[in-house]
Structure 1
Amino acid sequence: MRLALLLSACLLCLNAQAAPVDVASLDRGTWPEKLVSPALFDVASRAEILMFAHGLLASEALDDAALKQRLGLKIINLAAIDDLRRQLWQRLLENYTFAQQSCEEDASFCYLVENMDDLREQAGKFEVSDNSFYIGWAAPSRHFHARYLDELLRKAALFPQISSEVARFGDHERNGDELNDRMFLLTFDGGPATVSGNTDWLTDYLRKQKMNATFFVLGSSLQTRVERSSAADVQALYQGQCVGLQGWQYRSHSHWVDWQSSITRSAGLVQNLMPENYVPLFRPPYGQRRADSQGFFQQQGLQVALWDIDSQDEPGKLKADESAQRVLTLMLLWRKGVIVFHDTQDKARVALPMVLQATAQSGLGWQECREAFR
């Protein structure tokens, strides 16, 4: 039985990889205004919400065959797709409600939206006129949101056989939904990098900015870092930051026989090495974890820490500036959430300062890492 399930999962993985979705990014230079005030952040936010909602509404008109063709899949989980769509609509309504609070200061993209029917109506007829100040943004944004929606729908179509961050298995899993409007949590995956590498630069940069983040570390990389420097050096590396777990190796924890040992071994190492930095959070590599793992995590006193703003800064995906612009666009769309970068990648050293500079006057807040997921 276990072998049959494993083979089934492998086939689904191959199916998922057969027609990968292009990673979405949007050149923020197409938007004609800088985000130099909370009101201008809201204008851009309303625009991105309406554009995404327009694409989401259009996708609901696709029948099963057309949806499979669009996503490049032979088998799809329609129930999971429907669940995701409902969640997306609810989030969009909540976000637009927040974004329209500044309409008296700037009425751009302000429409009467008091309930879900209003939002769906406005999304259906949303368009940017040819003589609009924002016309240069319209087509690139439409393209971005179509590609981004496909990313989300594809993951839902494969859920739960291939788990991901688009859906939760229970209350022990958190994804930033509980954050307040305009609040964001910075997280980094896959570290630590080699001595004097990207992790060193990022933690130093964050301290200079008087900020912190949650670094989800791999046990094997952390142990190697200690061996090649010292325990004191590693403690200094993460001074003022939070350190969570990503397992012993960067591999899927959904079909790995030793997944529990991977987590407990890493937890022991981090707790012993950096008890003041340790936070009881597990970030599943690739977002993949077991559907029946809630009991284990509760027994270990751990929560699964997912995300909703993916920088796509891994090798072979977006360039550093494209990664930053993707993050900025998703911050405008979702208005709060958990941002994930990889501190083993050079791209984060370019992308993160770009994001902070672009939003410095937007009235945003950065969640204290120890207060997140409580």
Structure 2
Amino acid sequence: MNKLRGRWMILLSFVFLYGCAQTNILDKVGLTTLVGYDVGTEDKIKTTAVIREVNPEFQSNVEVLSTENDTSKGNRMEANRKLSKKITVGQMRVILFGEELAKKDLRYYIDTNLENASVSNGIFMAIVEGETETLLKYEYQNIEDIGQHIFRLIEQNVKQEYMISSTLHQIAHDYYSSGKEFAMPIIKRDDELVELSGIALFKGSKMVSTLPAKDSFYVKIVRDTFKVGLYETVLENEDVPSEILQKPANKITVAFDAIQSKREMMLVDADTPTFDLNIKIKSRVLEVYPDINQGDPKSVAALEKAIEKKLSKEIRRVIAHSQEVESDIFGFGEKYRSEVRHSKLTKDKWQKIYKDMKVNVHVDFTILRDGVFE
């Protein structure tokens, strides 16, 4: 009995010592939650860090600090000289890049963060319209911790499939692939709010173009699959037979969710090259405005065909735009490399081939149940 009691006392001592050690560590460090990079003066790197400091009573204070140096490590040293606590990056959740810097080159920043063992591969990366310093240093009335706010903004939109995901791991995979380019979300400040405003397309490590945020649906459905999500599209009057409408209308707005998609990419001609892109979507239509006769199977079938036509058109538009800027964010090049033996495909070679590639888009849209029509 005495031996058992002794073991418990030793165990409890370790628990208390561990708790004290943790309190001591938090009291002495500043937790970097977000870092933004911009073009500095004289080719230096401008870094803006969001740092959370925790006192012994577990009350926290958020500092937003900007520095300039020749390297990111030099910037950390500069920041340490301005704070009373050692800066750590183990809690960093987001890396942002200013628009001007993204257009110049992000190679150094991708490699540096990959080589840093303290930086998680699951960290989100995004582009800022304008400078990251301006976005992060703005005094928001209802945002206490801008670093945590931006992390949650990106995380919840990725989980709900409203925006593409761009973690360090995903970016590195696409960057080092010979047949694929990477893309990142774009964020901006809108008065007192921060919003996701678009998608940045890259060629190599340079941003070459953008797409609006609504196009994230088309990008994701070609690159990946949908399991959940909500999307709204507008059908033109000529796309829907007039006899299914309850009243005349110039356009028809359709909202659908519970999306389940499956895509198949097939190389049908290696010389051109030409691909068949088959996308099957099963969805629940929530709203159609103006109303249609939901009890008529012919009306529902006509609506399915109209949505198929609309989605095919929009997917072709997004792919064509990526071809114009030679940014294969969809991975057609990876499919080409896996199918064509001895292709010796390089990123430069595929960029030239990609702009002349042909894609036959086929969408099969099925309404699982009608939902609510208004």
Alignment TM class, shorter chain as reference = under 0.3
Higher share in strand: 2
TM-score (norm 1): 0.27
Which structure shows the higher helix fraction?
1
Bigger relative contact order, structure 1 or 2 (CA pairs below 8 A, ≥6 apart): 1
Instruction: State the TM-score, normalized to the length of structure 2.
Output: 0.27
